[in-house]
Amino acid sequence: MTPGRLVPPALIVVFLAVWEAACRYLAVPDFILPAPSRIGIVAVENAPLLLSHAGTTLLEILLGIALSVAVAVPVATAMFSHPAVERSLTPLLVASQAVPVFAVAPLLVVWFGYGIVSKVLMAAVIIFFPITVSLLEGFKGCDREYRILFRLMGAGFRQTLRLLWWPWALPNFFTGLKVGVSVATIGAVIGEWVGAQHGLGYLMIQANARLRVDLVFAAILYLSVMGLGLWAAVDAIGRRAVAWKVKKA
Amino acid sequence: MTPGRLVPPALIVVFLAVWEAACRYLAVPDFILPAPSRIGIVAVENAPLLLSHAGTTLLEILLGIALSVAVAVPVATAMFSHPAVERSLTPLLVASQAVPVFAVAPLLVVWFGYGIVSKVLMAAVIIFFPITVSLLEGFKGCDREYRILFRLMGAGFRQTLRLLWWPWALPNFFTGLKVGVSVATIGAVIGEWVGAQHGLGYLMIQANARLRVDLVFAAILYLSVMGLGLWAAVDAIGRRAVAWKVKKA
Amino acid sequence: MLKISRLVKRFDELDVLDGFDLEIPRGSFAVLIGPSGCGKTTLFDLLTGVVSPDAGTVSWMGDVIPDAGRVAAYMQQKDLLLPWRSLMDNALLPTTIAGADPAASREKAAALFQRMGLHGFEAYLPGEISGGMRQRCALVRTLMFERELVLLDEPLSALDAITRRSLHGLLLMLQQAFHRTLLMITHDIEEGLLLADDLYVLSQMPMNVLCRCRLKAPKPRRPDDPELIRAKTAVMARLDRELNNDPR
Amino acid sequence: MLKISRLVKRFDELDVLDGFDLEIPRGSFAVLIGPSGCGKTTLFDLLTGVVSPDAGTVSWMGDVIPDAGRVAAYMQQKDLLLPWRSLMDNALLPTTIAGADPAASREKAAALFQRMGLHGFEAYLPGEISGGMRQRCALVRTLMFERELVLLDEPLSALDAITRRSLHGLLLMLQQAFHRTLLMITHDIEEGLLLADDLYVLSQMPMNVLCRCRLKAPKPRRPDDPELIRAKTAVMARLDRELNNDPR
Amino acid sequence: AEKLTLMLDWFPNVDHLPIYVARDRGLFEMAGIDVRIVSPSETADALKLAVSGQVDLAVSYQPQTVIAAAEGMDVIAVGRLIEHPLTTLLFLKGKGIEAPPDLSGKRIGYTVPGLMDVMLHAFASLNGVRDYTSVNVGFAVLQSLAAGRVDAVMGPFKTYETVEMAHRGYDVGYFELEKYGIPDYDELIFVCSRNTLNLKEKAVKGFIRAVDVAIGQVRSNPERAFQEYLKAVPEANPETEADAFRLTLPYFAANQNHDPLRWQAFADFALQYKLIGKPVNGASLLRNFDE
Ligand SMILES: Nc1ncnc2c1ncn2[C@@H]1O[C@H](COP(=O)(O)OP(=O)(O)OP(=O)(O)O)[C@@H](O)[C@H]1O
Ligand SMILES: Nc1ncnc2c1ncn2[C@@H]1O[C@H](COP(=O)(O)OP(=O)(O)OP(=O)(O)O)[C@@H](O)[C@H]1O
Ligand SMILES: [Mg+2]
Ligand SMILES: [Mg+2]
């Protein structure tokens, strides 16, 4: 999906219309679910505030993505090359997915303080899992025949990785990255629950505590747009990177 | 990874040992991070309590998985067969990933009450995205040549779906499902933070309010084991379903 | 009759076809021979709608059709077996899709497996058999698909001479007993001459018919038939001239 | 000298090799001909360590080696081109891996592309070329890989007669000018007879050497050489007997 | 100036107004301290981090502090911010609820399992509420009330949710806990660890004094204080928080004298209703600087 094709089509218009109508005619109170028009107005009126918070969050997300990619790639590689590592790490990784943040938030504060680090870490932790799993499955999906070809050509592990496994798993990597960046927004927001002074997550908690549900949703709108932008960017890069697949067709 | 191979190997032992040592010698207070030994003891001592809550949560997760698979498969299929649907739904789906639970949990409760439905929905919503994305990418990854072969044999959409695309995308489906079931635990727990009377999430909040951090972590341990079990189950089923891939090697 | 008129196909800067004409009478066996990479597979792909032409028409029995995908069974150059289905299930794919009687189809497929020397391998997966066996399995699948026109892209290239010869008999039976129209690509000139009613020698890109070799000798023919040996030398010489005039 | 002794390989209930012996003198050109599915590819896979034998040994120049993967260049029956690399980059894969001088390698590959009639297609992706062109590209890649032993599994099966003939010259040059030892599988008996010093006719599974045909005529040979025609008839007859004695 | 880190119990709101006033009028500076204010991710974090020494001071609740003491945490209350419970049992008017017994047979929500469900249980048994169903509504107080999913909720603040509901056109009433048999207690207090107190006694004392002074100043000119607060916390919503501030003003601690008897009464109540598992000595948790 190229950015151009993201222009909201019929279904989205229908979705918003139904939402708006539901709020108006079913008299859904604002603080339960604000109408899209209301969210839009709040989002525009508070644009300077929201944008400044959004900047902080975006920075955290981008750093989180960079960090998790930087860790996921070697980890997936290690798990792929050493089944023992896979056997050891998989249970830890899967188990870690069941840990809710609030339980470890004080720990994060203890270790990383109130700065940007803990937020970046939270975002990274959330993106990390889908990327690693997808990349690993991608590596594993490589046809044995190709591996053998490389072995016969005398390729070492690094060469096979660079010339075969990595390009082979690239589509999977991008699938994982797409899932990852979409949920990264949540990661950063959750990270901001841990002692943040700025950012959309901070703003949302504040607004939520103040029962400014419309502002919460306006912040969500900004987050959603951010998520969409990241998705579209990854998708565009992904398409370019696996152009040979498209071309072949 | 078959269940048998999940038996914790060296790395996990090392991980637990480091954790234990950190708690003992770095004097991390146990209300911030309890030592694994302490968590183990609490988990065993309170087994009846924890198991009864775990039962509730497990039921929610299983229903959530069933629901989200039941929805993700037709949705991914529709997105694949109608690019217009994909163009419309993708932004909605991606945007939805940026919505933090606390914003929608009240909505779910208002709409679906305090019963099991809202928790099942929460779990389902979280699992849905990775499955749909993976399945869709799997469908798209099918070589054009095979599609043409099916067209030449006069196969309709449903037949091509059943005989070609679905088996083709099965490995991707299982990758997505694996990511999904791992995070499903969190979905159910968050659902239980609002409007539950039972379940590990409820227990965690309660223990947290009582500053019983060791019990919180014991609940997380049960959640983790549950997540691991689900992962291993999906992995085993997945292996069986794509046995031809293994056999070919 | 299959009639191909003024077919044009370009790939980027490559003129593969530039006004290609061909007529195949109903019930006849036509063989195409030409240099590797000249556009034979592309022609079949155009005929069956796998790729769409830039210009030109295809007609069948006098009616212009967008492509012959509805009237032709096509055995592609790649075997395209589904790796998760056993050989038998792969062979049964066309009848499964057409909703034909399973028992009858299975019986027919079993007979073809026997004939192809694949008996005993029905339950194997495509990843567990040899290249030639895969090709034979793809041929079974194509024959299971009952269409009046049969397009075969190098169907026997990976087989030994004996198996090949026995399958020549099968192809001739298809033409003579079942009245199919066959169009076959091969690189084996002798094979072409043994089977063809019309053998077309094709040029380099843009592909054209260099010469049409009408063979009247009754079939089955013998490879040591002097007419065949003469024809073989002639075709060889024509191809040689084509390839060495324009050394790519 | 490559010496294969008592090689055994089973797949489940299939006895593919059951004590297979073969000796290939250094610098010679050996050709293997046998029924489709008899185990030729499996033999090459065992030689190169692609699959591991259940029993038996392989030795090279007198030393028993686990497999000949380190001394052989192997062109497999499938082309195994990397779909994301251009033809040139695919051909350069062995030298890239070996860390050879890029400029010199590129020059050598360019010469081979020219020779194979692939000139002008260096930048194409494997998905954009014909079956025969893919096969030729795989052959270029194999030849870029400088090993003393060259194993070729049906390297020319998808090529037209003329291109094939020109590549016969290339293979002979490899043997005669570059002193490689060649081991080639083919289904084309005439091709085998044109190239081989020793031609082995193989049996059905479990695979054995039915007869060894020692060819002394100087190369290049002509297909109409009466010795060749006689040998061809003999090989054909031997194969025929093998396949029809034991109708699978 | 000595640095002190203070963790709030929740995001900044009018309850914390005197702290901001003290900071922005330089009262902390005069006391020779430099206070950094941070927000927690969850209400229990502040106390945990204070006890572990990660922050110097925390805003906490008296019930939470008693629970912490019963869990063996080394916590000490050093000052007071809000001196009576703000927690109420909130209900919508016009549904026939006038007195606690009217809640019998109704569906009653609570906000924090483990704490508010106990309060609800105590309230019900003390006031003859029978056959009610209790449900955890989490943070969805307004939503669940407005949607009619529950008839009342235990846990909302009388200074806060009431205002929000009123602003949205809902007429709400509430029962104040201390008037219905539950021992009076300090809603918001300042806590730290004994260790921090030993190391930074002077600074902590200075902090408490400064807050005390600030509370006096807030009382004398509430309007000005509120304007300062709006500047310090730009996210604040001026309309609703003005009302909330007006309601909160009477509850700011009049002095910094902890009352050991009041603490003990609450601790005994907590033990009786199983909020805690073992007895707690109230006096041992307190430090009065003014004695
Ligand atoms: N992975 C496998 N699992 C089971 N059987 C296998 C496997 N690989 C090969 N075989 C069997 O081994 C036999 C020999 O196969 P092989 O590929 O060696 O034949 P071949 O002589 O190369 O045939 P062709 O000329 O058709 O390429 C076949 O019957 C095949 O079914
Ligand atoms: N998708 C494509 N993109 C670009 N060029 C293509 C594409 N498909 C085929 N070609 C080009 O078209 C030409 C003809 O290819 P085609 O496959 O029709 O040859 P062929 O006659 O079947 O050869 P062979 O005998 O080797 O199978 C080739 O030069 C090839 O590079
Ligand atoms: Mg072709
Ligand atoms: Mg083979």
**pLDDT digit string, tens, across residues A9-60:** 677 888 889 999 988 888 777 777 889 999 999 999 999 999 999 999 999 9
DSSP H helices in B32-162: 36-45, 47-81, 83-96, 101-112, 116-140, 144-152, 157-160
pLDDT band at residue A4 under the 50/70/90 scheme: very low
Distances (CA, A) of E258 to E56, E187, E264: 20, 13, 11
Residues of E in contact with B212 (CB under 8 A): 71
Distances (CA, A) of E144 to A211, A217, B114, E111: 13, 19, 10, 11
pLDDT at C93: 95
Q: Do chains E and B touch (3 or more CB pairs under 8 A)?
A: yes
**Amino acid in position D233:** T
C122 touches chain D (CB under 8 A): no
- Range C50-74 average pLDDT: 88
Question: What are the angstrom distances between the C-alpha of C110 and each of B182, C89, C119, D229?
Answer: 46, 11, 8, 37
Q: Can you list the domains of chain D with their CATH numbers?
A: 2-71+150-245 (3.40.50.300), 79-146 (no CATH)
Residues of A in contact with D153 (CB under 8 A): none
Mean pLDDT of the region C104-132: 93
Mean pLDDT (chain E) is: 91
Rounded Cα–Cα distance for residues B207 and B42 (Å): 12
Tallying the residues shown for chain D, one arrives at 248
Interface test with E, best of B42, B208, B213 (most E CBs within 10 A): B208
SS3 E192: strand
pLDDT value of residue B247: 52
Please report, rounded to a whole number, the percentage of residues in chain E having pLDDT higher than 90.
71
Question: Cβ-count burial of D177 within 10 angstroms (0-12 exposed, 13-18 middle, 19+ buried)?
Answer: exposed
What is the structure's pLDDT at B69? 95
Token digits for A153? 């050509």
Average pLDDT over residues B124-138: 91
Residue B10 has pLDDT above 90, yes or no: no
Token digits of residue E95: 């549904």
D154-170 residue pLDDT tens: 999 999 999 999 999 99
How far does the centroid of ligand 1 lie from the alpha carbon of residue D36, in Å?
Answer: 9
Burial readout C213-248 (b: 16 or more C-beta within 10 A, e: otherwise): bebeeeeebeeeeeebeebbeebbebbeebbeeeee
Contact call for residues E212 and E290 (beta carbons, < 8 A): no
Percent of chain D with pLDDT over 90: 73
The number of C-beta contacts closer than 8 angstroms across A and E is: 63
Q: What is the per-residue pLDDT for A14?
A: 86
Reading the block at residue C134, the tokens are 């895969």
Which pLDDT score is estimated for A182?
86
Average pLDDT over every residue of C193-222:
92
Q: Helices B200-209 and B213-241: crossing angle, nearest 10°?
A: 160
- Within 10 Å of residue E42's Cβ, how many Cβ atoms? 19
Of D8, D9, D10, D11, the residue with max ligand 1 atoms within 8 A of its CB, to mutate for a pocket test, comes to D11
Question: CB contact, 8 Å: D93 with chain A?
Answer: yes
- Reply yes or no on whether the pLDDT at A2 is more than 70: no
Order of strands, edge to edge, in the sheet holding D55-60? D14-24, D2-11, D55-60, D63-65
Cα D206 from Cα D43, distance rounded (Å): 11
Question: What is the model's pLDDT at position B105?
Answer: 76
What number of C-beta contacts closer than 8 Å exist between A and B? 172
Measure A190 CA to ligand 4 centroid, in angstroms: 57
What residue ranges of chain E have pLDDT lower than 70? 290-291
CB A188 within 8 Å of CB A227: no
What is the ipTM score, two decimals? Answer: 0.88
CB of C113 less than 8 A from some CB of B: no
Q: In degrees rounded to 5, what are phi and psi of residue D144?
A: -70, -15
Q: Which residue on chain B is closest to C45 by alpha carbon?
A: B148
Alpha helices by DSSP H, listed for C2-120, are 40-48, 87-91, 93-98, 102-115
From the CB of D37, is ligand 1 less than 6 Å away? yes
More confident: D248 or A194: A194
Q: Are B197 and B114 in contact (CB under 8 A)?
A: yes
For residue range B179-219, what is the model confidence (pLDDT) as tens digits? 899 888 888 888 887 777 889 999 998 898 888 999 999 99
Question: Please, what is the average pLDDT of chain D?
Answer: 91
Angle between helices B200-209 and A101-112 (to 10 degrees): 50
Please answer yes or no on whether B182 and A110 come within 8 Å at the CB atom.
no
Which residue in A104, A3, A47 sits closest to A218, CA to CA?
A: A47
**In sequence order, what DSSP letters do the residues of A81-149 get, joined into one string?**
H-HHHHHHHHHHHHHHTT--HHHHHHHHHHHHTTSHHHHHHHHHHHHHHHHHHHHHHHHHTS-HHHHHH
Cα Rg, chain B, nearest whole Å = 21
Place of tokens 């009653």: E108
CB C150 within 8 A of CB C68: no
C-alpha C50 to ligand 3 mean position (Å): 13
Q: How many angstroms separate the CA atoms of C97 and C145, rounded?
A: 10
Q: Could you tell me if the CB of D11 is within 6 A of ligand 1?
A: yes
Would you call D151 helix, strand, or coil by DSSP? Answer: strand
Identify the band that residue B9 occupies on the pLDDT scale cut at 50, 70 and 90.
low
The minimum-distance atom of ligand 2 relative to the CA of C187 is 25
Which atom of ligand 2 sits closest to the CA of residue D160?
25
Average pLDDT over every residue of D97-120: 93
Mean pLDDT for all residues in chain A: 86
Which of D38, D78, D189, D210 has most ligand 1 atoms within 8 Å of its beta carbon, as the pocket-test mutant? D38
pLDDT at D50 over 90: no
- Please tell me the distance between residue D19's alpha carbon and the centre of ligand 4 in angstroms: 19
Q: What is the pTM of this model?
A: 0.89
| pLDDT at res. A212 | 81
**Residue whose C-alpha is closest to residue E232's, from E10, E22, E6:** E22
Paired strand residues for D184? D31, D152
- How far apart are the C-alpha atoms of C244 and C246, rounded to whole Å? 5
Q: Is the pLDDT of residue B3 over 60?
A: no
Judged on CB neighbours under 10 Å (0-12, 13-18, 19+), B112 is middle
Segment C44-56 shows an average pLDDT of 91
Query: Pick from B76, B99, B92: which is nearest to A11 by CA?
Result: B92
CB–CB contact A153 D82 (8 Å): no
The residue of E168, E235, E239 whose CB has the most chain A CBs within 10 angstroms, and thus the best one to mutate to test that interface, is: E235
Residue E18: cis peptide before it, omega within 30 degrees of 0: no
Compute the radius of gyration of chain A from its Cα atoms. 21
Which residue out of B97, B104, B185 would a mutagenesis test of the A interface target, given it has the greatest number of A Cβ atoms within 10 Å? Answer: B97
Tokens 């990619």 label which residue?
Answer: A69
What pLDDT does residue D197 have?
Answer: 94
